[in-house]
Structure 1
């Protein structure tokens, strides 16, 4: 009884502090019922404490490295997913050697490691264009040392190789990576609105695609009988015998310029699975992803989290579950692309299907409470009030605070 009374008093004080915060004069304020999803059935994110769009996280040598789109592809380092993050350097020393799209600000990097070499796949494009390219750069260090830009892997729209199927109908953005767990064969996944998401085998050196004049391409997702097919930002992960295709579905960005979509039409994170790396992939209801299927794993919630997407999955280990990470817009901060925040949730698997774990971090006076079982813990971290809500089934050691 005493513990509950103390907790309620502390929560009341935190709520009062949150309400006392001055409103941001630059914050867009669309109608709540039109834009925000106020459901509390989806857990809030753990806060990553970094502004980022389309994050990519690599765990290496006991540290997290986060890559993000922007000038020359910036990357950061932290001891924990919650930060603090320190900028290490950039992948590119200058503009990409690929003469396509926005050469100075590549999008959506994905970095993987093999035998001490890091491969960063990056996108060159412009908003709403199929004139796109995916390039790759390599390095043997993550300390700010120069990377080698190897140039283009695939093109769509214009340029050498863009006249080869399926590059004639797809869009070369948002590269991700997967290896066949049995054979070690590597594949590049990519695509967006133009015929959605595809998979292409990579050459043995991972610097080019296999058989570029006649690639063995497989389509992974598609929305039939529609001209508007908002699926992009794919990721593939592997867990306990299944390959999972993750993707962002819905309208993404520039809400301050383009306006807000109807409620529920904004970004959300979906998944399908297969026993084979090349599919076919089905959602939890048994619907093919090629028939428009996809199980929603994470979406707008609590009136605070809006349009989560641009995701990745960081494999867990014996002490930590898999981590789903993504960017989202915090409605108390703002809706411009530059205000996108890093969020993450731990995953559990329900009959082989990924589900985000309850467990949230609430920082700096922005107080929200989720309905969770078990005891609650109140802590002060880095000089800020922080409420950690943890179900009894999760070990506190799993939360890198």
Structure 2
């Protein structure tokens, strides 16, 4: 809110906008009318780390990182009608896939899921790894429906999609599937090592289109280690936008995570930030940062997904709550676009 712009003026303006948009198809319009989504979220909704989200009809489905032995289970699944009140649907997996524990020794959970709909099924990609190592893999689970009451419902694990080894300059975690306008599908992934990579996916199978095809580098930082991960791609007004997280997560209130963006005219890049600096040289325009919170409560905002609702985009991410000893929590903010087509979280 700009200086001198009163709360009463803001309320009157918002009421006028809501009245003009009374036919909006977004179910969160009324919920967000009095205070922000973040202010309304259930603060006991913990933990939520690495959120992925999809809307099906009038229901939002949220998936996140989960470990064996945790109460929420392996890839917790929650649903909501308004992005504020969430219902636990149970975990996607009751136990770790056998292939995952055999290939990635010591893994205890499945990280950083990604959810999308393709070829008549919902596809949930997930990461298999151990902290700080690039002996990792990305797997795929599918179901024809997310309606648990439908007889067709049921998660089926399709196993390995891509993996990395200590000799590789990349780390196969944090997948995000992107559907392009021409029907082609792409996966961005990566964490540390050589940064963010891109590979093409076969829409029919959800697996690699060509396992021997070289990976395309999209973003990296000239640092050692190379703290860049959690890519998410969208397309808008002729530009591809690559959101990524910089610095360090998973340290509670000591986390330094933050979210940046760059854009390109081609999916393979080059991605540049608002100042024209390439993401391959450590560029990035800040979208989310702990310094944006005047209360200094929410630390390390990152690992975002972009929810594209009719008439409104949202940035969905986790941050660490300083009032709860750094517990990771779900955060959601409207994403608005400047006149020169850059995203800002509001």
1:311 aligns with 2:304: yes
**Which residue in the other structure is 1:27 paired with?**
none
Question: What do you get for the CA RMSD once the two structures are aligned?
Answer: 2.2
2: distance between equivalents of 1:239 and 1:76?
Answer: 28
Of residues 273, 278, 301, the one that matches 1:283 is: 273
Gaps of 5+ in 1: 6-42, 358-401
Instruction: Write the deviation string for residues 116-166 of structure 1: whole angstroms up to 9, x where unpaired.
Output: 4100000001111111100001101213442110111111126xxxx7xxx
Aligned with 1:192: secondary structure?
A: coil
Aligned to 1:273: 263
Query: For 1:329, which of 307, 313, 320 is the aligned residue?
Result: 320
Q: 1:207 offset after TM fit, Å? A: 2.6
2:90 corresponding residue in structure 1:
89
1:132 maps to 2:160: no
* Corresponding residue SS for 1:290: helix
Contact map agreement 1:186 1:206 (CA 8 A) in 2: no
Corresponding residue of 1:173: 173
SS of the counterpart of 1:106? strand
> Is 1:48 matched with 2:23?
no
Secondary structure in structure 2 of the residue aligned to 1:282: coil
Tell me the CA shift for residue 284 of structure 1: 0.4
What SS does the corresponding residue of 1:81 show, helix, strand or coil?
A: coil
Tell me the residue number matched to 1:65: 61
Residue 375 of structure 1 corresponds to: none
Q: Does 1:235 align with 2:229?
A: no
Structure 1 segment 1-400 matched on structure 2, within 5 A: 45-49=38-42, 50-51=45-46, 52-70=48-66, 71-83=73-85, 85-96=86-97, 97-98=99-100, 99-101=102-104, 105-144=109-148, 145-157=153-165, 168-181=168-181, 183-212=182-211, 214-224=212-222, 226-255=223-252, 260=254, 266-300=256-290, 301-302=293-294, 303-318=296-311, 321-335=312-326, 339-350=327-338, 351-357=340-346
| Bigger RCO (CA 8 Å, 6+ sep) | 1
| Residue correspondences, number | 294
Structure 1 pair 347/240, CA: closer, same or farther in 2 (3 Å)?
same
Distance 1:230 1:44 in 2: 29
In structure 2, relative to structure 1, the CA distance for the partners of 1:4 and 1:87 (3 Å cut) is: closer
Distance 1:193-1:154 versus aligned 2 partners, 3 A rule: same
With the length of structure 1 as denominator, give the TM-score of the two structures: 0.69
- 1:286 deviation in Å? 0.4
SS at match of 1:126: coil
**SS across alignment from 1:220:** strand
CA drift of 1:206 comes to: 4.0
Task: Judge which range, 98-107 or 141-150, deviates more.
Answer: 98-107
Asked if the contact 1:46–1:344 (Cα under 8 Å) also holds between the matched residues in 2, the reply is no
Contact 1:187 1:201 in 2 (8 A): yes
Query: After superposition, what is the alpha-carbon deviation per residue over 1:207-252, rounded to whole angstroms, capped at 9, x for unaligned?
Result: 311221x22421110112x222110011111222211100110111
- Indicate the structure (1 or 2) with the bigger Cα radius of gyration: 1
Q: 2:61 aligns to what SS in structure 1?
A: strand
Gaps spanning 5+ residues in structure 2: where?
1-5, 9-35, 67-72
Distance change >3 Å, CA 208–CA 115, structure 1 → 2 = closer
- In structure 2, how many angstroms separate the alpha carbons of the residues matched to 1:340 and 1:130? 23
